[in-house]
């Protein structure tokens, strides 16, 4: 599991404070993403959409970034997924997520320039 990627600064704290819980989370993460029929990318898109629907800006940012950066999920794919957020969770989380997606796009472009 690339938890630094997916969950950010919280996971190293868990690893230090409670290694057994950390291992269990890694185990769960591996199991849930080991889908029978859906590929990793589609599952990740679903995770992005659920997090966006909950209105969690930072979690959504991180999931979008890792999905685009590591799994090759595209801007348009996330946008299509956010349409479902609009339908099932209303305007406020949708608009927030669209804005977050835009920030992710800009930060990725900026990060790539720096790494050249």
Q: Which of 64, 66, 72, 79 binds its own copies (CB under 8 A)?
A: 79
Contact between 114 and its own copies by CB under 8 A: the answer reads no
How many helices (H) and strands (E) would you count in the chain? 7, 0
The 35-74 contact track toward its own copies, x by CB under 8 A, reads xxxx---xx-xxx-xxx-xxxx-xx--------------x
The dihedral region occupied by 72, where left means phi > 0, alpha psi between -120 and 50, and beta the remainder, is: left
Question: What SS3 class is residue 56?
Answer: coil
Place of tokens 């930060």: 107
CB of 68 to its own copies, least distance (A): 13
3-state secondary structure of 28: helix
List of residues contacting its own copies (CB under 8 A): 7-11, 13-14, 17-18, 20-21, 23-25, 27-38, 42-43, 45-47, 49-51, 53-56, 58-59, 74, 76-77, 79-81, 83-96, 98-99, 102
């Amino acid at each position: 599991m690339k938890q630094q990627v997916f969950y950010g600064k919280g996971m190293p704290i868990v690893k230090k404070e409670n290694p057994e819980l950390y291992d269990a989370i890694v185990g769960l993460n591996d199991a849930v993403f080991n889908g029978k029929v859906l590929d990793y990318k589609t599952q990740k898109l679903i995770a992005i959409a659920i997090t966006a629907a909950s209105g969690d800006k930072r979690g959504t940012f991180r999931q979008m970034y890792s999905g685009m950066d590591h799994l090759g999920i595209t801007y348009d794919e996330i946008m299509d997924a956010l349409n479902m957020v609009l339908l099932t969770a209303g305007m406020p989380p949708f608009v927030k997520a669209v804005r977050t997606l835009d920030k992710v796009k800009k930060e990725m472009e900026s990060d790539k320039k720096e790494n050249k």
